Amino acid sequence: MTTIATTNPATGEVEKTFDALTDEEVDRRIARAAQTFASYRTTALAERAGWMNAAADVLDREADRIAAIMTAEMGKTLKAAGAEARKCAKACRYYAEHAAEFLADRRPADPRDVDARDAYVRYEPLGPVLAVMPWNFPLWQVIRFAAPGLMAGNVGLLKHASNVPQTALFLEEVFRRAGFPEGAFQALLIGSSQVERVLRDPRVKAATLTGSEPAGRSVASIAGSEVKTTVLELGGSDPFVVMPSADIEAAAWTAAESRCLNNGQSCISAKRFIVDIGCADEFERRFVANMRAKRVGDPLDEATDIGPLVSERARAETEELVADAVAKGARVLCGGERPDGPGWFYPPTVVSGVTPEMRMYHEEVFAPVASLFRVRGVSEAVEVANATGFGLGSNAWTRDDAERERFVRELDAGQVFVNGMTTSYPELPFGGTKRSGYGRELSAEGMHAFCNAKTVWVG
């Protein structure tokens, strides 16, 4: 039997364990989801909105409680965890307010143009949706699927990462306490080997996954063979381009904030810093100083900027990537050595001179480790920025209008943030291109991702 556990990354100690659900119990929960969907899909939007606003109230009231759980399970700082909880409450309220607008019948053409008395598109829910979610933003990643999904009339089955079981159970509790019908949102404490069985169940109509590229390939392959809708948000190796016209001080400060966000474990954090030689010396000096100033330590301490990496394996993989780069000629400008003591801590690190022969050039580094590149002009900056199989987010820093337009047009990514740090908002669609996945979360697009856009023609 698979054991699912909370292992504190700051200490390396197992704090709580759970047995994985049996196949029989999983079947019962899928049956409950399908039964609930049959009636839940007909509930009034106003009723769903009331429940969703109540869920937001629970998240706000209990932000401190869930923040402590998240910090214990995956190591993010307590202040970051509290901010995540409040962001989730905001997203719930956003969808409660805007669902009627997003789900309203849409008339894309004059009925006379299609020989009809009336013609429109109606958005209808698909059914039970399986969400395979990661540990790095264990609350936010789920809410950005669950809030639009539940408001659209779908029901959710959550297979969360096995190291955040208490967060998964908290989420189930939130929606139950908010008043959603029993079975509208259920957490499945199961191992990865049980995912295929759930996804192939004919009562499960779609799936969404945020996670690694191999996990995405597996879910997409299984869902494809079953002809089921999927949305995938996979890894990222986001570029952060800085041109001489930029506010270099602001760019260097934001660069360090982005690279160290969530202990360096964020898909949309900038990871490759591509700087024009006209400002490279100043940017490097400021950036390295900002990275060195970050305080690594106890994630429960308000003064801490960076907590531990999620696991011993994660730290070992980071060390291997840095060592490979150094062995092939790169230079470590700061950090690069694990601190003494318990826990899986790793310092803010800047590596310069990264070349295509190095693993770090092609692979995502999921830690507070930055690659620094020097380029000549916009064309070379775009070339280096796009020289990756990923295409999730991107940053461009310039005050030149022509340069801005080129970056917006030419950067291969699902998002381009100009003169600001890449982040996610309920109001804007979120997703990637290339090996970073497909489909969109958030905004109206995130709600429509798991709807049947039904064409209605009336003669």
Place of tokens 């019908």: 181
Round to whole Å and give the CA distance between 367 and 221: 29
Instruction: Provide the token pair at 90.
Output: 């905001």
Residues 94-98: contacts with CB under 8 Å, at least 24 apart: 94/147, 94/426, 94/427, 95/52, 95/147, 95/148, 95/151, 95/426, 95/447, 96/48, 96/49, 96/50, 96/52, 96/53, 96/56, 96/151, 97/49, 98/444
> For residues 415 and 215, is the Cβ–Cβ distance under 8 A?
no
Same domain, 264 and 316: yes
Can you point out the beta strands (E) in 294-400?
Answer: 331-334, 349-352, 369-375, 390-391, 395-397
pLDDT over 90 at 3, yes or no: no
Give me the amino acid identity at 115. Answer: D
CATH number of the domain residue 180 falls in: 3.40.605.10
Say if 424 falls within a structural domain: no
Same domain, 50 and 121: yes
Same domain, 394 and 451: no
Same domain, 143 and 185: yes
Round to whole Å and give the CA distance between 391 and 385: 10
pLDDT digits (tens, 9 = 90+) for 298-312: 999 999 999 999 999
Dihedral of alpha carbons 161, 167, 173, 174, sign: negative
Same domain, 222 and 86: yes
Say if 70 falls within a structural domain: yes
Same domain, 262 and 230: no
Say if 423 falls within a structural domain: no
Same domain, 229 and 250: no
Same domain, 48 and 163: yes
Domain that holds residue 183: 5-234+434-458
Same domain, 242 and 230: no
- CA terminus-to-terminus distance, the chain: 59
Buried b (16+ CB within 10 A) or exposed e, 236-258: bbbbbbbbbbbebeebbebbbeb
pLDDT over 70 at 8, yes or no: yes
Same domain, 79 and 59: yes
| Cβ count near 142 (within 10 Å) | 26
pLDDT band at 198 (very low <50, low <70, confident <90, very high): very high
pLDDT over 60 at 1, yes or no: no
Same domain, 177 and 296: no
Examine the residue annotation and report whether 233 is marked as an active-site residue of this protein.
yes
| Cβ count near 267 (within 10 Å) | 28
> What is the per-residue pLDDT for 222?
98
| Set 233, 364, 403, 441: catalytic member | 233
Say if 426 falls within a structural domain: no
Instruction: Provide the token pair at 84.
Output: 């995540």
* Coil, strand or helix at 21: coil
> What is the per-residue pLDDT for 2?
65
Instruction: Provide the token pair at 61.
Output: 């009231």
pLDDT digits (tens, 9 = 90+) for 21-34: 999 999 999 999 99
pLDDT digits (tens, 9 = 90+) for 346-395: 999 999 999 999 999 999 999 999 999 999 999 999 999 999 999 999 99
pLDDT digits (tens, 9 = 90+) for 257-274: 999 999 999 999 999 999
pLDDT digits (tens, 9 = 90+) for 169-185: 999 999 999 999 999 99
| Set 267, 284, 403, 441: catalytic member | 267
- Mean pLDDT (whole number) for 152-164: 98
- Mean pLDDT (whole number) for 197-204: 98
Per the structure, the count of domains in the chain is: 2
Same domain, 162 and 66: yes
Picking from 265, 300, 264, the residue whose alpha carbon sits closest to that of residue 72 is 300
pLDDT band at 66 (very low <50, low <70, confident <90, very high): very high
